[in-house]
Each structure stands twice: as structure tokens, then as C-alpha cells.
Amino acid sequence: MTDFIKQAAHVKPSANQLRLLTETPFYAFIHFSPNTFTGLEWGTGDEDPSIFNPVNLDCDGWCRAIKSAGMKGAVITAKHHDGFCLWQTKTTDHSMKSSPYKDGKGDIVGELSDACRRHGLKFGFYLSPWDRNSKLYGTDEYNDFYKAQLTELLTNYGEIFHVWFDGACGEGANGKKQIYDFDGYFELIHKYQPNATVFNDKGPIRWCGNESGSSRYAEWSVVPSELCPNCEIQTSPGPFSGELSFMYNTDGNIGSLSNIMYSKGLVFAPSEVDMSIRPGWFYHEDEEPHSLDRLFDTYLRSVGGNTTFILNIPPKPDGTFDERDVKRLKELGDKIRESFSVNLAEGKKITVTPYCNSDTQCTVDIELEKEEKIRFLEFCEDIAEGQRIESFTVQMPKNGGWENLFEGTTVGAKRIVELGGISADRLRIFVTASRDKPIFGKIAVY
């Protein structure tokens, strides 16, 4: 058992997962399709392409708004479930070719990828496997058709940082369901865009399990291999292996000891929190953006809770972002910048001491030298080496002893703890359980 726990502590991210977690943890989603013009969330697939005409399309404006929130990339729905393609594809006429926009010569994927590069943002796309328009859907030929679409997107638009495979698998126009050839899709990505991360229900970047921006009490990136068949298994089976034949990505407990003991093996598959700035994924004029508090809180719990965060902003039918969303994005970016600008622990003494000679418990003392008002403690594990910390307590000195301010679980790529403006000249992180000796990355106080 102890060996197995040690092994779990050494399951490591791929270079692509590591890059996403540490360099690009916050990025934008853009849902744009005929739904934008019909008011639907799931198009039927028989929409007339002539309705898609974003006369004022402003991808530079999108990029400016995305950057103002501090996001580092953008992922657009190149095709949603309605099957309409936002690029010049050779695979179907249900696409920009049949739209009045730029007389059928428009290419939204191209316009956005160019704008992203001009603004220093990374670019990615969503290509819905579920296609309610294609007559081929539900047959083997559909997989070839889908792979041809994927190849066009992977080869004609420069570097792709993230490919988003929606797990939805409904019926097509002919009432048939499709068996998706995910292995074949993944192969194409590895061939043409080896540096891209892939979001799929079950990893390598996996769905957090809801669309409301919630993350778990404990977010583990090291999870049972049953959860991510597309990830590389890095351990031998758990001590009670075979008991766990499958897992749901919506389960509340993923990756804890009581869960991984039953696994056939372990893989590294971090979770991505996905949420829209408004109730719908597509634009609906009567909807308002979520409050700044809700968005900031989601940021703290996702980027600051060992997951990545993809935040959707739906363009309006004319191809611009709604002013209300632009304002909210800027407010969010300002709040993030203002909250994490002055690191009070910069250049200060930080001492890590094993607790009672234990390898897996330790204290981290942060001496601020003078009393400071503290809103956040931010700290990381060196996630390149794996995820280890199971639980910790944040403390401050009181009456010659220590007062507990916060009790937490996982840390991983980043943990942000809200401390509500307490005054202290010293903080202590007491790591109460870890799967192996903790290795810390940046430790900061704001």
C-alpha cells in the first residue's frame, strides 16, 4: 500500500499538460454559430446558412476583451452540434461558403486565428463530433468526414494550443447515433499539432463534471486510469485493483486515496472548469453576464484550485461582443491584477521544516517581517514532479501558539487560499498529509 501511494506521488504530467496548467490556465471559449441568430442552444442542423451574417465581425475587439480579463488564449466553436462550419471547408456546403458574409468567402476561424496572433493570444478550436446536419452521421464514413474537417483545422490555421472535443453524442439527421473514432482523432492531433492539449470528457484534459464553474473539494490530477482511457498509465494496479471497472467524470470523489486504491493504474489527467459568462453558451439578448463576484470566485476555485478555466463569451449576431460582457471582463481582469500584484513574501524568509522528522508532513514558515493585511495565500507544488499534498492547514501565531485560519486538501499546480484581510506578520502552512515529500513551487502572500 505504501509503495502504491509513493507511486501515485510520482505520476507526472506530459509536457503539454504541464504547459497548459502552468502557462495558460485561463482562456476563453467563444460559442458562435447559426444558434447566435436563432436564439437556440442546440441547433437542429437544418438552419438556412443565409442567416449567418455577422456584418460587423470584430475579432480584434474580441481579443482585446479577452486579454483585458487576463486570459491567454481563445477556443472557438469551429462547428457546433448544428454542423455549420465557420471556415472554408471542402467537406460540406453547410458552411461559410453558403453564408452572405463576405459573399461566401468569409472564414471566421481564419479571422480569429490571425487576430489572436496579432494580440499575442494562443488559438484553439472546438469541433463538435455530434453533427445534426451531416447525412453521413451514424456511419463509418462520418468518421472520415470528421477527420477531414479536423485535418483542415489542424493544418491551415497555424499553431493550435487546445482542441476541444465535446462529449455530447446525440442522434443525427437520420436518427442514428455515431461511434466516434477518438483514437483516430487523437492520432491526427499528435501528427499535425503535437504541442496541442486535448480536452475530452475523459482527458487528457478532462471535464470537471459540471457547466456552472464548480470545482471539487479536492481536485486531483492523478486519477484512476479507468477515467481516462486516452492517457498513458504510469503505475501498476492499486492494491484492490479490478474492483473499479469504470468511473464517471461527474463523481464527487476522484483521485483520493479511497478512490485510487481500487484502480487498475493511475494517469495524469487534470480537470478543466468550463462555464459561460452568461447563463447560455450562445448569445441571448435578454441574458445578463454573471456578477463580478461569481466570476472572480470561480477563478479562485479553478485556477487557484488545481484546474484550468475556460470562460465562454458569446458574440452577438453582428459579430461583436456585448458591451456588458466587455465591461465585466475588464472588471474581472482588474480584480485579478489588483489582488495579485504585490507579493508580500517577495524576498522574505520562507523556511520548510520536516515535522517530527517525517518526510510527508512539514511546516512552511513565511516571515513577513512586519504586520501586513493579508487577503490571499498562493502556493504551488512543483507539478512537473507530480501531485503529492493531501491536506494542509494555514496558521498564524496567537498567544505563543498557532491559530488555524484555514484547512485545505489538494494543492497541485496552484492553490489560492482566501484569508479575508487578516493582519499577521507571519504565516505557517502545515502540510498534514502528503503522498511523498512535498516539493514546493512559488509561495506568495497578497
State the number of binding residues for ligand FUL (CB under 6 A): 5
Query: How far is CA 75 from its chain centroid?
Result: 11
Q: Does 170 bind ligand FUL (CB under 6 A)?
A: no
Amino acid at 300: L
Q: Which of residues 24-63 bind ligand FUL (CB under 6 A)?
A: 41
What are 352's strand-pairing partners?
A: 364
Measured CA to CA, the distance from residue 328 to residue 314 in angstroms comes to 13
CA nearest 340: which of 382, 406, 296, 293?
296
Q: Select 282 or 446, whichever has its Cβ closest to ligand FUL.
A: 282
- Return the ∠ at Cα 312 (arms to 334 and 183), rounded to 5°: 130
Radius of gyration of the chain (CA): 23
Output 123 or 126, the one with its CB closest to ligand FUL.
Answer: 126
The candidate with the shortest Cα–Cα distance to 42, out of 160, 133, 142, 116, is 133
Nearest to 162 by CA among 123, 128, 190: 123
Residue 325's φ and ψ, nearest 5 degrees, are -75, -40
Q: Is 1 or 168 the residue whose CB approaches ligand FUL more closely? A: 168
Q: Nearest distance from residue 41's CB to ligand FUL, in Å?
A: 6
Asked if residue 171 binds ligand FUL (CB under 6 A), the reply is: no
Interface residue with ligand FUL, options 168, 251, 291, 351 (CB under 6 A): 168
- Our CB check for ligand FUL shows the closer of 32 and 281 to be 281
The CB-nearest residue to ligand FUL is 168
274 binds ligand FUL (CB under 6 A): yes
Residue with smaller CB distance to ligand FUL, 55 or 168:
168
Least distance to ligand FUL, CB of residue 281, Å: 4
Among 47, 131, 152, 166, the residue binding ligand FUL under the rule CB under 6 A is 166
Among residues 137 and 281, whose Cβ is nearest to ligand FUL? Answer: 281
Smallest separation, CB 236 to ligand FUL (Å): 34
Contact criterion met (CB below 8 Å) for 255 and 290: no
First-to-last C-alpha distance (Å) of the chain: 39
Q: Is 281 in the site for ligand FUL (CB under 6 A)?
A: yes
Query: Hey, which residues does 398 pair with through a beta bridge?
Result: 401
- Residues near ligand FUL (CB under 6 A): 41, 166, 168, 274, 281
